[in-house]
């Protein structure tokens, strides 16, 4: 699901979906978990931050996710609005103080947790290490679809194909890992 804020409603959306939905925060956390990082900064909408979807996913991997203070979050919101208005340089200018504050507080990576912020990700990468959650979900979804990897976040597991539901075969074959 390529909308960060919509992950606050992930469980009911997945329950109503006939196909598995990939959980972006969970996939992002699973990528970071293999690195020597413990504290990361999150750049996301106020709604995404308030929902706790990133915090909860990162905590499952033993990672601390730091969010901006109130003034910093206002800058993030301002930046997102500027990106939507096509003012990318101004958006970057609004986010740089937030990125600097994360660095001073010990965060070693910025998680780009907003679709709009992904648009200025390369410029933010020039001032520090970033991880674009939108890029992660795109790569993970394609790799999964092509059978190159498993996902950390299929909820619920992929149902069996019609062939797997043939008489005498049961209904759980391959369910844990997808098709």
pTM of the model: 0.76
- Give the domain ranges of the chain: 5-165
The residue from 3, 59, 166, 173 that is catalytic is 3
For residues 142-176, one letter each, b for 16 or more C-beta atoms within 10 angstroms of the residue's C-beta and e for the rest, the string is eebeeeeeebbbbbeebbbeeeeeeeeeeeeeebe
Is the separation of the CB atoms in 32 and 137 below 8 Å? no
| pLDDT tens digits for range 132-164 | 988 988 888 888 888 887 776 654 444 333 444
Between 15 and 60, residue with greater pLDDT? 60
The residue from 21, 95, 114, 119 that is catalytic is 114
| pLDDT tens digits for range 32-91 | 887 888 789 999 999 889 988 889 889 988 898 999 999 999 999 999 999 999 999 999
| 165 is annotated as an active-site residue | no
Q: State in words which class domain 5-165 has.
A: alpha beta
Q: List residues bridging with 43 in a β-sheet.
A: 112
């Amino acid at each position: 699901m390529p909308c960060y804020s919509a992950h606050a409603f992930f469980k009911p959306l997945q329950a109503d979906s006939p196909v598995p939905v990939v959980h972006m925060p969970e996939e992002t956390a699973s990528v970071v978990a293999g690195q020597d990082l413990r504290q990361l900064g999150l750049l996301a909408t106020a709604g995404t931050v308030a929902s706790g979807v990133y915090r909860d996913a990162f905590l499952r991997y033993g990672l601390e996710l730091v969010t901006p203070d109130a003034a910093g979050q206002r800058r993030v919101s301002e930046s997102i609005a500027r990106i939507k208005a096509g003012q990318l340089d101004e958006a970057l200018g609004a986010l740089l103080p937030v990125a600097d504050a994360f660095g001073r507080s010990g965060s070693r990576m910025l998680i780009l947790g907003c679709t709009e912020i992904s648009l200025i990700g390369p410029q933010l990468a020039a001032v520090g290490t970033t991880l674009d959650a939108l890029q992660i979900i795109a790569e993970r979804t394609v790799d999964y679809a092509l059978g190159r990897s498993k996902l950390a976040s299929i909820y619920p597991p992929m149902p069996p194909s019609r062939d797997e539901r043939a008489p005498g075969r049961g209904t759980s074959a391959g369910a844990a890992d997808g098709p």
